[in-house]
Amino acid sequence: MKHEKVQGIISTIVTPFNDDDTINESMLRKEVQYLLTTDIDGICACGSTGEGHTLSAEESAKVCKIVVEEVQGKIPVVGGIIQNSTYQVIEYGKALKNVGVDILQVTPVHYLFSTSKEDTIKYFKDIGEAVDLPIIIYNVVPWALASIDTIKELADLPYIIAVKQSAGDMDLLANELAEVKGKISVLAAVDNLHFPAFAMGADGALAALPTVTPNLTIELWNKVRNFKFEEARKLHEDLLKVWNSVKEPNMPAKIKEALRLQGRDCGKPRSPHQPVSNEESKKISEALENVGLLGVKQNK
């Protein structure tokens, strides 16, 4: 039996770090509180934007516990897991379930050694059975993308409720929409392609840009759903400038700088990533000003 469908705009959330790379709890709580003032449909903690790949199971649980406490059941909380074995994911998954997350977001195995279709299906099946939480497939790693044939079979598993299609593969997204939409949710993730993804029928987005521009991304989503395509296209072009200012390399630092420039200070990225350069900050500032989101600058 499938769990409730996920749809709409789900914001990822950054993990604020102190200068010694420990988690800054007060900053995290303030950022959750800010996101709750918008009309987002969910929050995802410990994903790529949240530097989840750098977090231990204990740290991931700490971050998710804080988010769950602040959300107080108002919207679903997704807990991200970026690991490379069934054992690790189950360990993380149980820790996140214990602190109250509603859904897991899980990457396929991606470090060096490829898994077969059968192994990938068993991986998600074993995780679902062991943790007993709904799962979003985080199809993000370009060299380890789950194929459409694999996703079609995964969509039949009771714990799989969505696929988040990342890595810029619009062909794969198109085929997912044709093959599995209606069985599971298909969520957009590549931020410069939200407009066409929404127009093609994606069930929403779970991505980095709704962290920086939650209200504008919601506006884009609503314009497309209401067939206001010309207005949506113009907004897409403005959001594209913001995305181009914060995308890789050094994305964790750039996202946090974009938040700081809006008055949403979320600390530093975790080492080895370093704070942005003055040139990077200027580009981000100009993009935010273009969409009316530039707050009061603070001295570095």
Residue 299 pLDDT > 50: no
| One-letter amino acid for residue 204 of the chain | G
* pLDDT tens digits, one per residue of 96-130: 999 999 999 999 999 888 899 999 999 999 999 99
- What does the angle CA 73 – CA 217 – CA 97 come to, to the nearest 5 degrees? 30
Pick 5 or 296 by higher pLDDT. Answer: 5
| One-letter amino acid for residue 145 of the chain | L
Mean pLDDT (the chain, rounded): 94
How far is it, in rounded angstroms, from Cα 264 to Cα 223? 27
Residue 180, domain member (yes or no) = yes
Residue 90, domain member (yes or no) = yes
* pLDDT tens digits, one per residue of 214-241: 999 999 999 999 999 999 999 999 999 9
Work out how many domains the chain is built from and give that number: 1
Residue 258, domain member (yes or no) = no
Residue 268, domain member (yes or no) = no
Contact by Cβ (8 Å): 275, 253: yes
Residue 138, domain member (yes or no) = yes
Residue 291, domain member (yes or no) = no
Instruction: Decide: residue 238, CB within 10 A, 0-12 exposed, 13-18 middle, 19+ buried.
Output: middle
Residue 198 pLDDT > 50: yes
Residue 224, domain member (yes or no) = yes
Residue 126, domain member (yes or no) = yes
Question: What pLDDT, on a 0 to 100 scale, did the predictor assign at position 296?
Answer: 41
The answer to whether the predicted template modeling score (pTM) of the entire model surpasses 0.75 is yes
Residue 37 pLDDT > 70: yes
Question: What pLDDT, on a 0 to 100 scale, did the predictor assign at position 130?
Answer: 98
Structural domain span for residue 196: 8-228
The number of C-alpha atoms within 13 Å of 59 and in the hemisphere containing its C-beta is 19
Residue 165 pLDDT > 70: yes
Question: What pLDDT, on a 0 to 100 scale, did the predictor assign at position 136?
Answer: 98
Query: Percentage of the chain surpassing pLDDT 70?
Result: 97
Residue 190, domain CATH: 3.20.20.70
Question: What pLDDT, on a 0 to 100 scale, did the predictor assign at position 4?
Answer: 66
